[in-house]
């Protein structure tokens, strides 16, 4: 029976690879600072051009490939549509756009400080130039930490220390920004990469190399059966952060309990989307399972 199951799993992986082979981006293709989305483009789960991706298609691809819960995926994708894309066409594009293109495509995912942020694991800060292309120097620093701490494999210790080091390096950036929204994106990305490409919060070096360096889904990739929700990611997010905490725009304290985290989410939404806060909070409550409180006076520092 176990041999049958093993064969079925291997066959499923092989079929997925055959149906969606890796094709490197060409001169006219757009890519973003997000290797997860770039990989979906490179394998043809979404248009290879990286342009004019429909929200519904992205939500489905995140579910099909990475097992991201559609409700959680909807929050991520519609944030990209409203901040970086075109709400009228319900779409967004990788890359960055200016001039007349903004009217149809939006500013694109590479536009600084919408979703793209400082202190990336594998991209330079926008102030230093190219904020969207893979940076081999930063990744080699990450791999060096993995070799020292965990025999080359990636875990929460490795990602926590690398994020801490990146934060310290970014402090000399005069435009440095790492507020609540950037914090949530940065640590969420790290947690999701471990959950998707690892097991028990540990990912093999080969998996991360394929994902980060080539932006290619590993040949032996098997979709994690655990659906990726905010509740599945939150413990990993907090574990990565708490091992090497950094100030959040001078706050100096991050919520340690679920209730404090919920207040933190409320604060972030109110700061980033003040005119849409009430509707967005209701949307998060209805689609993520987080029972966001309406009164956070017990945690005024958050």
Q: What is the pLDDT of residues 226-236, one digit of tens each?
A: 999 988 998 99
Looking at domain 117-254, its CATH class is mainly alpha
Position 56 pLDDT exceeds 70? yes
Q: How far apart are the C-alpha atoms of 107 and 7, rounded to whole Å?
A: 45
pLDDT digits (tens, 9 = 90+) for 198-227: 999 999 999 999 999 999 999 999 999 999
Q: Out of 13-17, 271-275, 282-286, pick the least confident.
A: 13-17
Tokens for 265, please give them.
Answer: 């989410």
Q: How far apart are the C-alpha atoms of 167 and 201, rounded to whole Å?
A: 22
What pTM was estimated for this model as a whole?
0.80
Residue 262: what pLDDT? Answer: 67
The answer to whether residues 180 and 270 touch, using CB atoms and an 8 Å cutoff, is no
Residue 301: what pLDDT? Answer: 43
Confidence of residue 71 (pLDDT cuts 50, 70, 90): very high
Based on DSSP, count helices (H) and strands (E) in the chain, helices before strands. 12, 4
The phi and psi torsions of 294 (rounded to 5 degrees) equal -95, -15
Average pLDDT (129-155) is: 97
Position 251 pLDDT exceeds 70? no
Q: Out of 22-26, 151-155, 231-235, pick the least confident.
A: 231-235
pLDDT digits (tens, 9 = 90+) for 275-296: 777 777 777 677 655 666 666 6
């Amino acid at each position: 029976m176990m041999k049958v199951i093993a064969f079925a799993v291997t066959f499923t992986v092989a079929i997925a690879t055959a149906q969606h082979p890796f094709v490197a981006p060409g001169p006219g293709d757009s890519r973003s600072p997000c290797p997860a989305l770039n990989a979906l483009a490179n394998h043809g789960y979404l248009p290879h051009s990286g342009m004019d991706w429909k929200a519904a298609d992205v939500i489905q691809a995140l579910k099909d490939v990475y097992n991201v819960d559609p409700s959680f995926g909807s929050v991520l994708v519609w944030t990209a549509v409203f901040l970086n894309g075109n709400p009228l066409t319900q779409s967004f594009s990788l890359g960055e756009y200016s001039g007349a293109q903004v009217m149809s495509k939006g500013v694109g995912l590479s536009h600084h400080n919408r979703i793209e942020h400082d202190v990336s694991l594998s991209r330079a800060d926008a102030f230093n130039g190219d904020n969207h292309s893979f940076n081999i120097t930063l990744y080699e620093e990450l791999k060096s930490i993995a070799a020292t701490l965990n025999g080359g494999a990636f875990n929460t210790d490795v990602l926590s220390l690398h994020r801490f080091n990146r934060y310290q390096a970014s402090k000399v950036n005069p435009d440095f920004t790492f507020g609540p929204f950037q914090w949530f994106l940065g640590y969420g990305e790290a947690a999701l990469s471990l959950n998707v490409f690892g097991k028990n919060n540990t990912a093999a070096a080969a998996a991360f190399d394929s994902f980060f360096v080539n932006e290619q889904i590993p040949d032996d990739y098997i979709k994690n059966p655990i659906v990726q929700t905010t509740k599945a990611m939150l413990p990993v997010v907090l574990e990565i952060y708490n091992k090497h905490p950094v100030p959040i725009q001078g706050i100096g304290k991050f919520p340690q309990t679920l209730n404090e985290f919920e207040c933190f989410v409320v604060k972030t939404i109110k700061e980033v989307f003040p005119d849409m806060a009430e509707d967005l909070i209701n949307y998060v409550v209805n689609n993520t399972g987080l029972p966001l409180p309406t009164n956070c006076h017990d945690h005024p520092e958050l």
